[in-house]
Structure 1
């Protein structure tokens, strides 16, 4: 898989999460509400191959009335982590095109999403991109 394929897998995972939250096509229409991706951070850990069985998991790192900070993992059938995607998702009122609080039934489902606390925080979550500079000339 190339980088675009990994991004597509995680995009489809967000679609599946939206379905689970009650924001599939019918739910978006009924609530006039959807989720937008504000930011995403992909980490590639191992190579995935054509035809390989894969599964995606998600945990809630944090949430407030309008936002979900989610962490997705892509694993093979042996449980090896192939990639991760940390995402900030924003709830949007479709009719106004503005951020809005989660509809009550969506907020209830969101609260039922597995979460992280303290020691459970995924090791790869919260990373930043940057070149580490060293004082010596070997860097």
Structure 2
């Protein structure tokens, strides 16, 4: 499911002539915001439910360069979920469908008043339950990776 469409902004391009590594993280952060909107946690939803989502952990893999003005799309795969957490996998593609980067993330639902983890509000839970969940046969190849020097 495509959750975000964007374009490489000129101020995202670094001295190497391509999108800076920090800007890939920005695009995936924007994808989290788009996911939040999709499940009813836009600004009015966050206020109404006194609820938000925090990012607990991110694993970003860079695959190809992106250049100024280049169209981008971010695809979402829900790997797992429980009453207050989402394990998501994002793929960043260019207009030709080339994989530019991936971001695997653990997201946590938070009660905005207490600042503590809390179960998803009922309408948000219903929207989360409607997201397509990856099966073991379509688990992304780059999900669950660890960082290590291979010997």
* TM-score class, shorter: over 0.9
SS at match of 1:11: helix
Which residue number in structure 2 is paired with residue 137 of structure 1?
Answer: none
Which residue number in structure 1 is paired with residue 26 of structure 2?
Answer: 8
SS at match of 2:32: helix
Please state if 1:73 is matched with 2:91: yes
Q: Structure 1 length as normaliser, TM-score?
A: 0.93
- Can you give the 5+ residue segments of structure 1 that lack an aligned partner in the other structure? 134-139
CA distance in 2, matches of 1:113, 1:45: 26
After TM superposition, list the pairs within 5 Å mapping 1:119-134 onto structure 2.
119-133=137-151
After TM superposition, list the pairs within 5 Å mapping 1:16-27 onto structure 2.
16-27=34-45
- Give the C-alpha shift of residue 117 in structure 1: 0.7
CA distance in 2, matches of 1:21, 1:38: 19
Runs of 4+ in 1 over 6 A off after TM superposition: none
CA distance in 1, matches of 2:111, 2:80: 21
Computing the radius of gyration over CA atoms, which structure comes out larger, 1 or 2? 1
Q: How many residues align?
A: 133
CA RMSD of aligned residues (A): 0.7
Q: Structure 2 length as normaliser, TM-score?
A: 0.86
Which residue number in structure 2 is paired with residue 136 of structure 1?
Answer: none
- Give the C-alpha shift of residue 132 in structure 1: 2.0
Is the deviation greater in 112-121 or in 37-46? 112-121
